[in-house]
Structure 1
Amino acid sequence: MANEGKKLSNPSSTGSGGAKFEANIQATFVTLMLSGGYAPCLPAWPIVEIKLQGKIADYETDDLIVLVENPVTQQRCKLLGQVKLSIGVTESNPVFAEVIQAAWIDFNNPKVFSKGSDVIALITGPISATDSDGVSGLLEQAQRCKDAEEFIKQVGRARFCSDTVRAKLRAFKAQLRKANAGVELSDEQIFDFLKHFHLLGYDLSRKGSVITSLIQSHIAQFNKEIPDKIWYHIIDEVQLFNKAAGTITRSNLAEGIIRYFKEPVLNYIPQGLSVSDFLSEKKPYSEIEINWRAHSASNSIALANLIGSWDESNENDLIIVSSFVGEEYTGWVRGLRDTLHLSGSPLDFRDGVWSIKDRGKCWEEFSYRVFDSHLDLISEKCRLVLGADDPTFELSIDERYAASVYGKIAPYSSAIRGGLAATLALLGNRSCVLDKCKRGNPKYIADVVVNGLLSNVGWVRWASLNDLIPVLAEASPSVFLSAVDQATAAEVSPFSELFAQEGEGIFGRNYMVGVLWALESLAWDDEYLIAASVSLAEIAALDPGGSWGNRAGNSLVDIFLPWLPHTLASIQKRKVALATIAREQPGVGWRFLLSLLPNQQQTTSGTHKPKWRLEGLVDREGSVNRAEYWEQSIHCAKLLVELAGLDSSRLSELVKKYASLPPEASTALLDKLSSKELTSKSELERYQVWDAICGVLVHHRNFPSAPWSLGEKYLAPLEDVANTIKPISEALAGRRLFSNRDYDLVERDLTYEQQQLKLEELRRESIKSILAESGFQGIVEFSSSVPDSQSVGQTLATIDSLELDREILPSMLDESGRLQGFVKGYAWVKCWKYGWGWFDRLDKVDWALEEIVSLLCMLPFNEEAWSRGESLLGDDFSRYWLKTPANVFQMKEGGEYAIGKLLGVGRAGAALEVVSSGIYLKWDLDSSLVCKVLLAYGAAEPESDRIDGYRISEIIKKLQEDFRVDLEDLSQVEWMYVTLLDRNSDVSPVTLERKLSSSPEFFCELVRAIYSPEGLSVEFVPTVEERNIAVNAYRLLNEWSLVPGGREDGSFDSTLFTDWVAKVDRLSRTSGHFDVAMNCLGSVLIYAPEGCSLWVDEEIAKLANEKERDALRDGYAVATFNSRGVHWVDPEGKPERELAQKYRDQAEALEYAGYHRFAKTVRDISKDYDIQAERNISRFGK
């Protein structure tokens, strides 16, 4: 059971920043409710109620509770939201501990939280990239994995998850353990919790943020005049409800706010009063309809439509076009250009790319101009262009993002490749309109080309065509399916290699998506459903799993969803397909049929739809009636019972889904479980099934009033089976008590203390029975067979017996795995129960030193252990420090002593863990010692995986706040960890930045570390160390934001600035680095302070205007552009227009002040933003 919940607090009494952010978040959900928007993480149902400060209503996660309701069934789900402006997701962060404690209490309270439908969300402002990436990756894995075993396996595999994700899992485990009164949670419990937990990032805490913009866009749907004022009105209203801890619905909000969101009523002119009949029918010239079939450019348009699209900036594209049309490109394209200005032109030309506005319409309109000779030519071009493999795949996975830098560029543009692929799809599906061609020839050409492209090819071809494969599949479905069959049947499948190409992070890519989408697309067709779904099953069998959501197994689930199938096939055809998959790929069939049981898959994002086939059919809103839904569900469940056979593992998994089985299938399962074939199996084989049945019985009986809970009518037959197959052996029956599933073992109507006492008594009786049945050796064997062997040792330790001490100690101290946990649990409880006197009374005369070390490491990490270790081990005391787990929370004092000892044996990672925990516990540590630990950790091979970048950043932040720290030591620390200290974290290298701004020598040293001298003719090959120094220097200069001459109080001393620049000039000219030094200086000048009469300090403007400072001005311009960072693209180009005007005004001011060279640089920036605005309007504007 969780700890006592957090205390009720009035939101108006919290800190101003957090309270404001909380109000903004609450106002965001109110806006979504009023504008018809949907709540994140919940089904797309209307928001009907928002409860604020839910502590009064017995919620622990209490900042807001958002309820949504299905408008048809009135089913409700809710989001429990905890709002924190800033937070660190670590094992020691107190704010995160508070959040998890509250969430854990609610999660286990069926009165406020329904598992499977409700969710819990931590809603934050901007947090560190480490936390954001790590937590998002962890929660995504929890959502994607089918069970706890797969989840733990995936997170533990370095290929699929980063160390950051694993660090966040440890943070959740640690905080959940604290929330659970110090009791470790099982993997199943943690997995179940994480599946219901979400992290939502909102950047509402600053003006002009993306989320604020989106919310105001919601408001602007109803009122375009004053969306910002309406937003502030909503915030004010929310704060009134907040003070009263009220509940917000549409009915109790202020009438004025409701009125803002009133749907406009449109009035139409009555029929018969229109004057359009009296207007002249004569149209302006620009609106005269043109008969394009008879136009002089009709032949060129027909040829252009056969190509589809091409890019004029790609020379190879132009060669293909020219070769196809049989003319020089410049002469031929002139006719097309003459049509662009005409009304209704079928052509489009943007940013150098030609395309057809409506290919299907043009295909029909100009079909009379297409002959077999054209098809022969286009067939040749398709083979040439689409058969060219992407040279990117000549690079390693981690180099492909920079393919252009390595010169690995595809020979043809994506425009012409996409255009020709679509041509094949048109040939394969709309050949009937090509009446000037031999009947069947167009489709024959499509089949032949697709076969040549995909039949018996390697993984590089499949990867190169990834984006186009869905279109090629539509062009020739049968040929494509045959190619997929060949690929899956190959001894070394190209798909296996494609799976191996998946990368992680922002530059990673899944090259199987094209194949999956193609098969999803074909599955819409009744004719191809079985073949496409079997191919997906075969691919799923090859799939090793990964971090990407697009997997063949997921595609199968979406296609056959019983409540929304993504196919036009009949229910009979779907049933045949399901049975075929189960027969041909039973392993895959088992996994995906489980997902099709009722209440297993409640949401779907749909599947890929065909573009050139089944036109119009797949766009209809599909649905199934109740009879059809249950017909498929019963079919799936019966297949599962059949597939399970007598396999204990599968039967136990099916038992866990007992509540989701239709009556016909649950009866069949009960018959199988009580059959002679199963009951005659050995106890060990039956145990897994019996354990699963017991878990189901306890789970449902613990929550009798829950809507999902089964009544005794359904549980009694299951209990009869359990009694029939229950193990007689106490060693088997007792396994459940030591399974790491404490929450499933005792009644929920007891208090936590009563639950623990009862569980301890049950365990004690079980251990006594095993001792009586099999003796101590039976206990050892039992410990080796249960997940929670430590509890076995702890329980055994409560039985007073000196014989047990002699049996275990010291002979079992060198055990590993589960037996090590058994010994550790035994020793810990003995020491806790009898104190350190128990350790002293042990006869250790004949013990080896390593045995003494092992036992001490199992006992509390504190001064009691240290004093005994020093006394017993003498000169070998270092062995203890080499092995101890160093759990800081077991000690009260002596932190610096422990740190020094750990450092002394080369365990800088363990020492750093002690430092990190000590900072959390508010120890006053010696700053020089902390610096020493950080430097040692950075220089050594990390032996601890529990230290992440966030914790190191927090330690450095603490050092920066310590006035006693030696600045030179701190500079070395910041230099070593400069890669962690950037604008995306809360900690920056302030000491190094101050040194840069005050020491010209240091600045020039960094410049020399990065750049070679100007005019150096000899090629310089840096060492690994020199390369690392250059990387650190580059990162530091890139993050530098303190202008030389700037003081800590924010003032600016122009004299210091000019002196600093003069020294840099002299040093950089001497070394041959003047231009690069000026470029770096220009980058930091974007942070320059304002002057008295100018937007920038006059001394800085004067320097930037000097004739010899071209490189400085270039650096300033580049840094100005880069400072904008990632931004939302406005199709109207408004932000770019505003920036252009801003820099235009600045340039004007500089020019009037006499700084014309600097003015030109700033004016060029303005012009570039004007160009960007035009480009955005051209690309994205309507």
Structure 2
Amino acid sequence: SHDHDLPHYAEAAPDEFLTIIEEDLRCSDPVVFGLLKPDSGSFWAPSSQTGLFWALECLAWNPKNLLRVSVILAQLSRQKIDNNRVNKPDDSLQNIFRSWIPQTAAPVSDRVKVLKKLTEDFPKIGWEICIKQIKPGHSVGHYSYRPRWRSDASGAGQVVTNGEIYKFTRKTLGFLIDWPSHDEKTLGDLVEYLQGMPIENQSKVWNLIDEWSRTAGEAAKAVLRERIRLFAFTQRGRQRKLEDATRDQAREAYDSLRPNDPVIRHSWLFANQYVPVSTEEIEKEGFNDNDQEADERIDKLRREAITEIWDERGFKGVKDLLAPSGATDLIGRYTASCVTDVCSQSDFIQRCLSLDGELQSKAEWCLRGFLSAIGDDVCAEVINMVAKKLSVEESKRLFVCAPFNASTWRLLDDSSEDIRTGYWKDVVPYWKDQTPAELNELIDCLLEAHRPRAAFHVVCMNFKDIETSRLKRLLHDIATVNTEPAGQVGLDPYYISKALDLLDGRVGVTPYEMAQFEFLFIVALDHSKHGIPNLESQIAQSPEIFVQAVALAFKRSDEGEDPPEWRIENPEQRAVVVSAAYHLLNQIKKIPGTDENGHIDKEALVSWIEQARQ
């Protein structure tokens, strides 16, 4: 509640303010961390942390407070703050120590001493401050909160001279080079910012890598090796216009870090769906790593990698490759080319299903990629063979991983009710050239499983192929069934408008039904192509609907009660309907009595008004 006043308290009594926070941070459960709790994320929502950081920034201008403030901010930086606000303790620290626009009046010598203390007591935070000082290229700086009454910031906080910048950055570079315990992360950072260093320091970095690699593990070597590749040998590396000597040193370090384990050596190919290709491996000049040739090159490397891993390590190699991967479906897809006979495929599937714990989800995605790559006919044969050997739960997981098409659904017909029900409850549906019959079938099954939004997401590209009664039921359930997890499947207003456009005018759909749908989706249809033409027409014909909307949107000014049929007892449902009624009153534009040509029938309009008033 004192958030806005904290900077004033701090400026009024700096020592007392810092002492209070320091004593609190020594407790087992500091109260100050309560101010760092995540906020709602709204742009306009108040934040309980801003005043605290401004107070500390205010005190950091005075050189005698710099160490105490920096230590407090470093301690607060250990608490993760999950919001998008700029005000965070590590951001305040970066602003204070930014070489070219330091937000403190402390001279270089004092800043260096404090920063050295931070690197010793808070190495992770100290490293991030130091490494940002040598980042090549342009950077953005922010001004910190300044004192209102004291003169601590007088003449400070603006861009400093090149000499002062050079002096401070050379000191921080010395801290980085002489770091007591380098690892793949710190060395990778030095490589990434290599162009911000003098030549002699660049040589020291390569020597550090050479010395570190003699005792480092293969997994750590692979991480640093990939960062060197991204720095020097990709399209972005080419844009850096590195000197030949730098590229040669990078190549030497890259080759020396080559892991012997094939899984570790090739894991970079499956770290993500997209992998920047090494431009040196393509002879074509002017190569762009976004074109077809890059995709073909990565595809070839992945096939060769999986073949080598499978030949040397078998399923265990694939399992080890899954753990660090962010593209496990690709691992399954490429493994399918190595596992070609039905017995081996059956064994691979069972092994994937046997993995549990943290690997279970990754193994299931691997299985999805594997099953999608072996072909529908073979896939159906293998699934049918394996399903007979599995428990109900394992069978359900197998079917969920199978291709989302009619071949899988026909196999489900011969399964137990528990498996079929579990499948439609958990399957991740997706569009893939389904026939109209398949689209209508998946709608029925997903609606039965109370998943209308999932069904809508699949068929939104093919509304014309959906039978009228199913499309009506689908739209109705989207608006009224609320059993799917919030945020799991979004509804794009464009597709809602498109669905109503295709439904409007079909045989078996009355204008009154269309008006009901338009009211259900009144918020989504705001500014849409479809709009609310049927609803407007219904209101123009029936003043009772207009009056009911007014009654729902606004409270009565007297002590009377609305008719029972207008009352909504459920608070959540009432809130939704009230909002919809309010949107309706804002959106309707058609004047009652208006004909198709836009002419207004005076008598019809007067009659409508009289009925509405009555």
Using structure 2 for the length normalisation, give the TM-score: 0.83
Q: In structure 2, which of residues 385, 391, 400 is the aligned counterpart of residue 844 of structure 1?
A: 385
C-alpha contact 2:333 2:372 (8 A) present in aligned 1: yes
Partner of 1:604: 141
Q: CA deviation at 1:890?
A: 3.7
Does 2:481 match 1:937?
no
Does 2:222 match 1:687?
yes
1:571-650 equivalences under 5 Å are 571-599=108-136, 602-614=139-151, 617-618=154-155, 622-625=159-162, 627-643=163-179, 645-650=181-186
**What letter corresponds to residue 1032 of structure 1 in structure 2?**
A
1:956-975 equivalences under 5 Å are 956-960=497-501, 962-964=504-506, 965-975=509-519
Q: In structure 1, which of residues 1022, 1036, 1039 is the aligned counterpart of residue 584 of structure 2?
A: 1036
Structure 2 CA distance for partners of 1:571 and 1:879, relative to 1, 3 Å = closer
Q: CA deviation at 1:873?
A: 7.7
1:318-357 equivalences under 5 Å are none
Q: In structure 2, which of residues 264, 267, 270 is the aligned counterpart of residue 732 of structure 1?
A: 264
Partner of 2:275: 742
Q: CA deviation at 1:913?
A: 0.7
Aligned to 2:233, the other structure's residue is in SS state: helix
For residues 671 and 993 of structure 1, the distance between their equivalents in structure 2, rounded to whole angstroms, comes to 76
**How far does the alpha carbon of each residue in 1:308-334 deviate from its partner, in whole angstroms, 9 at most, with x for none?**
xxxxxxxxxxxxxxxxxxxxxxxxxxx
For residues 476 and 32 of structure 2, the distance between their equivalents in structure 1, rounded to whole angstroms, comes to 46
**What letter corresponds to residue 580 of structure 2 in structure 1?**
N
Does 2:595 match 1:1054?
no
Partner of 1:903: 447
For residues 587 and 610 of structure 1, the distance between their equivalents in structure 2, rounded to whole angstroms, comes to 30
Q: CA deviation at 1:695?
A: 3.2
Deviates more, 1:901-910 or 1:487-496: 487-496
Does 2:452 match 1:916?
no
Does 2:352 match 1:812?
yes
C-alpha contact 2:568 2:574 (8 A) present in aligned 1: no
Aligned-pair identity in percent equals 20
1:243-642 equivalences under 5 Å are 463-464=1-2, 466-500=3-37, 502-599=39-136, 602-614=139-151, 617-618=154-155, 622-625=159-162, 627-642=163-178
C-alpha contact 1:888 1:918 (8 A) present in aligned 2: no
Q: Which runs of 5+ in 2 are unaligned?
A: none
For residues 987 and 493 of structure 1, the distance between their equivalents in structure 2, rounded to whole angstroms, comes to 56
Aligned to 2:578, the other structure's residue is in SS state: helix
C-alpha contact 2:191 2:231 (8 A) present in aligned 1: yes
Q: CA deviation at 1:578?
A: 1.6
C-alpha contact 1:928 1:969 (8 A) present in aligned 2: no
Does 2:248 match 1:712?
no
Q: CA deviation at 1:908?
A: 1.0
C-alpha contact 2:62 2:152 (8 A) present in aligned 1: no
C-alpha contact 2:523 2:583 (8 A) present in aligned 1: yes
For residues 572 and 1061 of structure 1, the distance between their equivalents in structure 2, rounded to whole angstroms, comes to 82
Partner of 1:771: 310
C-alpha contact 2:38 2:82 (8 A) present in aligned 1: no
Q: In structure 2, which of residues 205, 221, 242 is the aligned counterpart of residue 669 of structure 1?
A: 205
C-alpha contact 2:497 2:529 (8 A) present in aligned 1: no
Q: CA deviation at 1:830?
A: 1.4
C-alpha contact 1:679 1:686 (8 A) present in aligned 2: no
For residues 568 and 736 of structure 1, the distance between their equivalents in structure 2, rounded to whole angstroms, comes to 46
For residues 704 and 546 of structure 1, the distance between their equivalents in structure 2, rounded to whole angstroms, comes to 32
For residues 135 and 521 of structure 2, the distance between their equivalents in structure 1, rounded to whole angstroms, comes to 52
**What letter corresponds to residue 126 of structure 2 in structure 1?**
G
C-alpha contact 2:271 2:325 (8 A) present in aligned 1: yes
Instruction: Please report the RMSD computed on the Cα atoms of aligned residues, expressed in angstroms.
Output: 3.6
Q: CA deviation at 1:1006?
A: 3.1
**How far does the alpha carbon of each residue in 1:944-971 deviate from its partner, in whole angstroms, 9 at most, with x for none?**
745434x145313541463224333333
Does 2:490 match 1:954?
no
Partner of 1:656: 192
**What letter corresponds to residue 743 of structure 1 in structure 2?**
P
C-alpha contact 1:558 1:565 (8 A) present in aligned 2: yes
C-alpha contact 1:771 1:779 (8 A) present in aligned 2: yes
For residues 384 and 440 of structure 2, the distance between their equivalents in structure 1, rounded to whole angstroms, comes to 32
For residues 842 and 999 of structure 1, the distance between their equivalents in structure 2, rounded to whole angstroms, comes to 58
For residues 800 and 492 of structure 1, the distance between their equivalents in structure 2, rounded to whole angstroms, comes to 55
C-alpha contact 1:764 1:795 (8 A) present in aligned 2: yes
Aligned to 1:917, the other structure's residue is in SS state: coil
Q: CA deviation at 1:665?
A: 4.7
Aligned to 1:743, the other structure's residue is in SS state: coil
Aligned to 2:145, the other structure's residue is in SS state: coil
1:1093-1172 equivalences under 5 Å are none
Does 2:538 match 1:995?
yes
**How far does the alpha carbon of each residue in 1:834-886 deviate from its partner, in whole angstroms, 9 at most, with x for none?**
x5256447772845577676555545434454455547789975665444432
C-alpha contact 2:6 2:55 (8 A) present in aligned 1: yes
Does 2:331 match 1:799?
no
Q: CA deviation at 1:990?
A: 4.1
Structure 2 CA distance for partners of 1:656 and 1:705, relative to 1, 3 Å = closer
For residues 796 and 470 of structure 1, the distance between their equivalents in structure 2, rounded to whole angstroms, comes to 60
For residues 425 and 71 of structure 2, the distance between their equivalents in structure 1, rounded to whole angstroms, comes to 55
**What letter corresponds to residue 431 of structure 2 in structure 1?**
V
Q: CA deviation at 1:577?
A: 2.3
Structure 2 CA distance for partners of 1:958 and 1:838, relative to 1, 3 Å = closer
For residues 616 and 818 of structure 1, the distance between their equivalents in structure 2, rounded to whole angstroms, comes to 54
Structure 2 CA distance for partners of 1:980 and 1:775, relative to 1, 3 Å = closer
Q: In structure 2, which of residues 542, 548, 555 is the aligned counterpart of residue 1011 of structure 1?
A: 555
For residues 689 and 992 of structure 1, the distance between their equivalents in structure 2, rounded to whole angstroms, comes to 63
For residues 94 and 241 of structure 2, the distance between their equivalents in structure 1, rounded to whole angstroms, comes to 26
For residues 503 and 574 of structure 1, the distance between their equivalents in structure 2, rounded to whole angstroms, comes to 36
Aligned to 1:844, the other structure's residue is in SS state: helix
C-alpha contact 1:646 1:678 (8 A) present in aligned 2: no
**What letter corresponds to residue 534 of structure 2 in structure 1?**
T
C-alpha contact 2:497 2:525 (8 A) present in aligned 1: no
Q: CA deviation at 1:818?
A: 1.8
Structure 2 CA distance for partners of 1:988 and 1:578, relative to 1, 3 Å = farther
Structure 2 CA distance for partners of 1:533 and 1:901, relative to 1, 3 Å = same
For residues 73 and 403 of structure 2, the distance between their equivalents in structure 1, rounded to whole angstroms, comes to 54
For residues 1059 and 770 of structure 1, the distance between their equivalents in structure 2, rounded to whole angstroms, comes to 82
For residues 137 and 94 of structure 2, the distance between their equivalents in structure 1, rounded to whole angstroms, comes to 10
Structure 2 CA distance for partners of 1:842 and 1:905, relative to 1, 3 Å = closer
C-alpha contact 2:136 2:195 (8 A) present in aligned 1: no
**How far does the alpha carbon of each residue in 1:234-275 deviate from its partner, in whole angstroms, 9 at most, with x for none?**
xxxxxxxxxxxxxxxxxxxxxxxxxxxxxxxxxxxxxxxxxx
Radius of gyration: which is bigger?
1
Partner of 1:790: 329
Structure 2 CA distance for partners of 1:837 and 1:472, relative to 1, 3 Å = closer
Q: CA deviation at 1:649?
A: 3.7
For residues 126 and 604 of structure 2, the distance between their equivalents in structure 1, rounded to whole angstroms, comes to 74
**What letter corresponds to residue 327 of structure 2 in structure 1?**
D
For residues 967 and 516 of structure 1, the distance between their equivalents in structure 2, rounded to whole angstroms, comes to 59
